[in-house]
Amino acid sequence: MSGKRAFTLVELLVVVMILGALAAIAVPRMISGATNAKINACETNVDLLNSQIELYYANKGVWPADLKTVTEDEEYFPDGPPGCPFGTAYLYSTTTHRVSSHTH
């Protein structure tokens, strides 16, 4: 007997199975967490856009003709307009004078 001790194939398979089970649980949770964060960021952007549209109306006395009128004005967005984390354009309704949430 040489005194060397190594892992058996069964022990290695058990470890691999445990790691696989943990990955199967963790990965979907991380992916859904990232998606939820993007959805929340998008909703926050919509709220910010609507707040600035209201401020525009309060300052000028008229509603903006389009979304660019507000988003390209440095008085309302000095760092530039917020972008949707999903890459979808925000749409402004000239009827309701609001940017509505969109589905992803």
Q: What is the pLDDT of residues 13-46, one digit of tens each?
A: 999 999 999 988 888 887 778 888 999 999 999 9
Total domains, the chain: 1
Enumerate long-range contacts of 58-61, CB under 8 Å, 24 or more apart. Answer: none
User: Is 1 part of a structural domain of the chain?
Assistant: no
Closest CA to 79 of 31, 103, 45: 45
What pTM, to 2 d.p., does this model score?
0.71
User: Is 3 part of a structural domain of the chain?
Assistant: no
User: Is 104 part of a structural domain of the chain?
Assistant: no
User: Is 4 part of a structural domain of the chain?
Assistant: no
pLDDT value of position 1: 53
pLDDT at 95 over 90: yes
Give the residue numbers spanning the domain of 74: 9-99
C-alpha count within 13 angstroms, C-beta hemisphere, residue 5: 1
pLDDT value of position 35: 87
